[in-house]
Amino acid sequence: MTHISTMTEQFAQYALEGFCSSNSHIVQHVFDGVMRRKESRKRKVAVVIGGGSGHYPAFVGYVGTGFADAAVVGDIFASPSTRQICDIVRLASKNAGVLLGFGNYAGDVLNFGFAAERLRGEGLDVRVLGITDDIASAPIGRETERRGVCGDLPVFKIAGASAERGDDIDTVERLARLANSRTHSFGIAFGGCTLPGADKPLFTVKKGMMAIGLGIHGEPGIETRPLENAEDIAMLLVDRILLERPQGSFGRAAVIVNGLGGTKYEELYVLWNYVRKALLSQNITPVIPLVGEYITSLDMEGCSLTLTWLDDELEPLWRAACDTAALHLTDSEQEDRPASGDGPPVAVPEASVKATESGDARKAGLLVAEGVVRIAKMLAENAEELGWIDAQAGDGDHGLGMARGSAAAAKAAQEAVSLGAGPASVLTAAADAWADRAGGTSGAIWGLGLRSAASELSDYGVMTGQQAVRGARRALENIMEFGGAKVGDKTLVDALSPFVETLTEALERGGTLKSSWRKAEKAAQDAAIATAALSPKRGRAKPLAERSLGHRDAGAVSFAMTTKTILDLVEQNS
């Protein structure tokens, strides 16, 4: 349990501010993240890493010389938004390309992927790498589906060292991907983690038992077994990872024994003794082994083992000097420590909302804002029900996240209207605010979807039904592309796709927007109900597929609810 806390919604922000002010000789505070205090060469590949808060020292603790140039962080266990990522990348870029690194989770994949697309459109060469080291999350042959856990550290360290010595973006990306393919992790838990302000953990482990193959966002293990002694735990971890040993000699490996936040360092050192013996017995030499807390999960009791198989290319990069708040390695070419100093965060310029000269567009902007306000009110009223639906096979935060995100979107939309914005600008402002405030996968999806829809609107003239259809279709296409979900995966897409198809068909047959929306809303409602019969194939519910059967998908249900809310608005403003 978190004993030292503040207002729950401000916990991550206050923790970030405290980290920056206490490590001001290494990092400087930028909104939603950190950057290096000490400047490197004027032109180099920028390594920008990130993910949710609650995993310290990941990710801010690895910003510094020889490692990452910047880190962007979201709320507790929630991806940073697309806008936040774009802002920090723009600040960190040194005109030689950018490598974006993150754990392979749905929200991160969406936000970092969409951010890369937006930045490429601005002329930046941005490469994306989701870390996939957790062997418990998908079997051999399906490595791309694996999530990232403690493997973030060695992969980002190797990428950062490559960039530091002046390698070009193609080389940095190649070496980072090679390191990722050679990195494997496996973990166990003795107790679950508790979110700040909560009075009970996200999951529990029975006394005298241990959960095998845990996740770092409160996901329980894939199996439980009686608690074993240190030697047996070490053998379990080593044996599982050696099943993934690549072909070839690979007699040397970077090794990390990682604590998850609630396991004492002394226990980890005891475990390391046995891990080391087990590795040496298999003719594997640990290279600069790390024992401690490197990727945590708040106060989770547990540990993990990570191996990165080294060769002549990767070992020098793993050994290279770095100077960060969480990791300091030296070699014969160690640089001086950056000078200390403190100051206000580096300001990130905000995009300004421009007024439209079209009276029709202003009226349309008012209508869009009214729709967002109504959606926010509806989601606030249904937050508890949506949370209950989500809790059947997830973490139960969907209702609160949707209410929080839509409330921020409503406020942003109203502010845009007060400045005389048209529908495209109003919806864009709402989209960014929703993604920023909601966090998690749902926040990423709604931010992406609304921004995609906004791209088909205009701030000049009358808003038409055809624009609405094109916007809905663009939202569907981008959500499927960046999120990787398809119909049948038990996600929001299962309701969104029939809604878009029905709306398109009805309008093409000559229906009015009101009658067409009514048919599409019915299709979305029916599809949301039908998700109860589906087995989840993506997201946090995937490992708990059996538990999910018989229950509707919360994302599909909340989307269907919004179509009903907007139907009422369309009928009143036909």
| Per-residue pLDDT reduced to its tens digit, 260-275 | 999 999 999 999 999 9
Q: What per-residue string of b and e applies to 517-541 under the rule 16 or more CB within 10 Å gives b? A: bbbbbbbbbebbebbbebebbbbbb
pLDDT tops 90 at residue 59: yes
From the CB of residue 276, how many other CB atoms can be counted at a distance below 10 Å?
19
Strand partners, 126: 98
- pLDDT for 392 equals 78
Q: Could you give the percent of the chain with pLDDT greater than 90?
A: 72
- pLDDT for 340 equals 39
| Per-residue pLDDT reduced to its tens digit, 337-350 | 333 344 566 655 55
Q: Could you give the percent of the chain with pLDDT greater than 70?
A: 92
Distance between CA atoms of 525 and 532, rounded to whole angstroms? 12
The one-letter amino acid at 559: F
| Per-residue pLDDT reduced to its tens digit, 497-544 | 999 999 999 999 999 989 999 999 999 999 999 999 998 776 655 555
Instruction: Give the tokens for residue 236.
Output: 């379990």
pLDDT tops 90 at residue 463: no
Distance between CA atoms of 555 and 540, rounded to whole angstroms? 12
Q: What's the average model confidence in pLDDT over 178-204?
A: 90
Q: Give CA 387 to chain center in angstroms.
A: 20
- pLDDT for 341 equals 44
Q: Name the most confidently modeled range: 94-103, 219-228, 530-539.
A: 94-103
Where residue 175 falls among pLDDT bands split at 50, 70, 90? very high
Strand partners, 220: none
DSSP 8-state secondary structure symbol assigned to residue 549: T
Distance between CA atoms of 162 and 66, rounded to whole angstroms? 8
Instruction: Give the tokens for residue 539.
Output: 């997201």
- pLDDT for 548 equals 72
Strand partners, 309: 253
Element at 140 (helix H, strand E): none
Torsion of CA 234, 330, 44, 129, to 10 degrees: 0
From the CB of residue 549, how many other CB atoms can be counted at a distance below 10 Å?
15
pLDDT tops 60 at residue 424: yes
Listed as own residue / partner, the contacts of 5-9 with beta carbons closer than 8 Å and 24 or more positions apart are 5/196, 5/197, 8/195, 8/196, 8/197, 9/75, 9/404
For the annotated catalytic residues, the residue numbers are 217
- pLDDT for 334 equals 37
Residues of the chain by 3-state class (helix, strand, coil), percent to 5: 50, 15, 35
Burial class of residue 246, CB neighbours in 10 A (0-12, 13-18, 19+): exposed
Report the SS3 class of residue 473.
Answer: helix
- pLDDT for 354 equals 79
Q: What's the average model confidence in pLDDT over 330-338?
A: 46
How would you classify residue 502: left for phi > 0, otherwise alpha for psi between -120 and 50, otherwise beta? Answer: alpha
- pLDDT for 318 equals 97
- Which residue, chain included where needed, has tokens 């490590």? 23
Sign of CA dihedral 389, 392, 398, 399: positive
Residue that wins the pLDDT comparison between 445 and 352: 445
Distance between CA atoms of 223 and 214, rounded to whole angstroms? 9
Distance between CA atoms of 363 and 308, rounded to whole angstroms? 58
Residue that wins the pLDDT comparison between 527 and 551: 527
Strand partners, 191: 301
Where residue 355 falls among pLDDT bands split at 50, 70, 90? confident
Average pLDDT, the chain: 90
- pLDDT for 214 equals 80
Q: What per-residue string of b and e applies to 57-72 under the rule 16 or more CB within 10 Å gives b? A: bbbbbbbbbbbbbbbb
Where residue 25 falls among pLDDT bands split at 50, 70, 90? very high
Distance between CA atoms of 412 and 434, rounded to whole angstroms? 9
